[in-house]
Structure 1
Amino acid sequence: MPSGQQERAQASAITPRKQPAPTEPAPADTVRALFGSHRLSPAQRRIAQYITDHPTEAAFLSITDLAERVGVSQPSVTRFATSLGFTGYPALREALQPLALSAATSPPDTAPHTRPNELQAAVDAEIANLENLRRTFADTDTILHVGRELARSHPLTVLGLRISLSLAEYFAYAAQRIHPDVRLVSRGGSVAYDALLQAREAGGTWVLAFAMPRHANETLAAMRAARRTGLRIALVTDAPLGPLPDEADVTLTAPTGSRLVFDSYAAPQVLSAALLQAMADADPERTQLRLEKYEQAADQHDFFLEP
């Protein structure tokens, strides 16, 4: 090989290939990340959604105009800004304006179908929540232990207040098919304390409490009341730390979906079904007997439509 070609070949061998520049996130994605890292109320999520959908417009609106466009009060906008860590709405608007200008000067997206819309993104987030729950199910010891304890508690009390009531009702309704005495507590205050005290005096040993965001003060009060009566507490919630897990004997966590105005509960629902399975397996003979009796009653009284 001639010397000139040899030198060029050597230079090519030692010169690293130029790597493509990292892709900058789209301005709208940056705005979503800013909001997505905080727990927002339903009203605050409406504000966040409007800003995400109208970044170049919303970043230059006055607090009065933004509140009017979204349909919320001006104090709600202020609380929204402070919940994100800003001193007020002017500071939030100042942070949003560079992103809005970037969005305005960015080339148009020629393939909008490649990016999921808000509803698809919410489903994607729930799929990620279920994947996280699946990884926790690799170790089933805790689920099986809690299922055994709940199955042995006579009566078994299920606590769910405010937004958590739907999960508690589902669990209690299904548990009644396989457990002889399930008591649902759906009201707080002295009513909850009375129910918890009666359950303990009747021989109950455990309470299964559901606590989803936004966590209610009355749920914490009811859990503390349960402990004072001598009941033990298994808690199903979205996070392992905080005042509610501090009051529980066992905490089982499942993240909630927060991409829409109201939370979605795919992972907590699956966790609840897993607990029911563990209860059923803890006493298989009782489970089978009760399920057969229920089916007989369902046939006798025509509970369900024919398939």
Structure 2
Amino acid sequence: MPKRQQARAQASAITPGRRAPGAEAPPADSVRALFGGHRLSPAQRRIAQYITDHLTEAAFLSITDLAERVGVSQPSVTRFATSLGFSGYPALREALQPLALSSVAGSPGTRVEDRRNALQAAVDAEIANLESMRRVFADTDHVLELGRELARSVPLTILGLRISVSLAEYFAYAAKRIHPDVRLVSRGGSVAYDALLQSREAGGTWVLAFAMPRHAKETLAAMRAARSTGLRVALITDQTLGPLVEEADVALTAGTGSRLVFDSYAAPGILSAAILQAMADADPERTQLRLEKYEQAAEQHDFFLDL
């Protein structure tokens, strides 16, 4: 597979509801647009959500009062403002106040409607991510070729650190059903290096790494360590550019849902399942044999409930 070949699934923004041409955006939509396009930490998302839900009040609070209402520190509020490109909290508050006044002049039911639809908006954003993934899957060559490469790598190493552990564990758990030697690396530092070196010495050729936001420096270090041992690196991430993508031999991009305090992973999940499918199809005889053996073991040891 050509080095650093990339398939990109871009997450598109969702605008809640359609407006007539020329109509002004509701204040809540304008606030979301102000916060959108920025990678916020969980604490910063709590601030953003509070401001969105309590716009008419929050836009006139002091930094001390806002921090107390949200339950964060004052420096967290300052970092939130600067992460949006403002010089500080006063500049952010100045930008919010016209939106708050516009909200007061609008429909009295707007804020209640916005709160009720916050979770629906998160689902809509994930639907957009899946639609992007669907368009990427119109050309399946990238996924099928990667599946063949990973199927041939014995052992196959799966790397996922910090928040990315959950996706790596899912992939490794399923891959073990169809692949003879799958090794999960979920700790960074020298522990990761040892595992990667052992995998290469045992004959492995590939590492599949997961890197979801916030992207850990440990992940980049582990990817570089893998390449230094002679392993090739396939990466599943939400980024299309940056040091992680540059370090990968193959990068597949899937958008994450960022409307809630913590990210959701509908698109990375379906991309992972597609790669597993490609691995299964790459060696159908081995896949069938291993699945049959697993089912026999499951029945013998009564692994599952009969529902």
Q: Answer yes or no: same fold by TM over 0.5.
A: yes
Distance 2:103 2:140 in 1: 47
Q: Is the 8 A contact 2:171 2:276 kept in 1?
A: yes
Q: Is the 8 A contact 2:185 2:195 kept in 1?
A: yes
In the other structure, the counterpart of 2:10 is none
In the other structure, the counterpart of 1:289 is 289
Note if 1:38 corresponds to 2:31.
no
Q: What amino acid is aligned across from residue 273 of structure 1 in structure 2? A: A
In the other structure, the counterpart of 1:50 is 50
Note if 1:248 corresponds to 2:251.
no
Note if 1:236 corresponds to 2:231.
no
Q: Is the 8 A contact 2:133 2:254 kept in 1?
A: yes
- Once the two structures are superposed, what CA deviation does each residue of 1:191-243 show, in whole Å capped at 9, x if it has no partner? 00000000000000000000000000000000000000000000000011110
Q: Which has the larger radius of gyration?
A: 1
Secondary structure (helix, strand or coil) at the match of 2:158 reads: strand
- Once the two structures are superposed, what CA deviation does each residue of 1:253-285 show, in whole Å capped at 9, x if it has no partner? 100000000000000000000000000000000
In the other structure, the counterpart of 1:184 is 184
In the other structure, the counterpart of 2:203 is 203
Q: Is the 8 A contact 2:206 2:233 kept in 1?
A: yes
Matches within 5 A, 1:213-224: 213-224=213-224
In the other structure, the counterpart of 2:13 is none
Secondary structure (helix, strand or coil) at the match of 1:61 reads: coil
Q: What amino acid is aligned across from residue 89 of structure 1 in structure 2? A: Y
Structure 1 unaligned spans of 5+: 1-19
Q: Is the 8 A contact 2:53 2:111 kept in 1?
A: no
Secondary structure (helix, strand or coil) at the match of 1:92 reads: helix
Q: Is the 8 A contact 2:28 2:114 kept in 1?
A: no
After superposition, the Cα gap between the structure-2 partners of 1:300 and 1:25, relative to the gap in structure 1 and judged at 3 Å, is same
Distance 1:297 1:285 in 2: 19
In the other structure, the counterpart of 2:272 is 272
After superposition, the Cα gap between the structure-2 partners of 1:174 and 1:257, relative to the gap in structure 1 and judged at 3 Å, is same
In the other structure, the counterpart of 1:12 is none
Tell me how far 1:112 sits from its aligned partner. 6.7
- Once the two structures are superposed, what CA deviation does each residue of 1:37-87 show, in whole Å capped at 9, x if it has no partner? 211000000000000001111011000000000000000000000000001
Q: What amino acid is aligned across from residue 213 of structure 1 in structure 2? A: P
Structure 2 unaligned spans of 5+: 1-19
After superposition, the Cα gap between the structure-2 partners of 1:196 and 1:177, relative to the gap in structure 1 and judged at 3 Å, is same
Q: What amino acid is aligned across from residue 96 of structure 2 in structure 1? A: L
State the 4+ residue runs in structure 1 displaced beyond 3 angstroms: 109-116
Matches within 5 A, 1:34-113: 34-109=34-109
RMSD: 1.5
Q: Is the 8 A contact 2:53 2:114 kept in 1?
A: no
Q: What amino acid is aligned across from residue 27 of structure 2 in structure 1? A: P
Aligned residues: 288
Secondary structure (helix, strand or coil) at the match of 2:280 reads: helix
Matches within 5 A, 1:112-191: 117-191=117-191
Secondary structure (helix, strand or coil) at the match of 1:240 reads: coil
Secondary structure (helix, strand or coil) at the match of 1:258 reads: coil
- Once the two structures are superposed, what CA deviation does each residue of 1:139-188 show, in whole Å capped at 9, x if it has no partner? 00000010000000000000000000000000000000000000000000
In the other structure, the counterpart of 1:305 is 305
Tell me how far 1:108 sits from its aligned partner. 2.8
Tell me how far 1:107 sits from its aligned partner. 3.5
Q: What amino acid is aligned across from residue 260 of structure 2 in structure 1? A: L
Distance 2:110 2:220 in 1: 51
Distance 1:228 1:187 in 2: 18
Distance 1:96 1:109 in 2: 20
Secondary structure (helix, strand or coil) at the match of 1:168 reads: helix
Distance 1:153 1:21 in 2: 55
Distance 2:162 2:258 in 1: 17
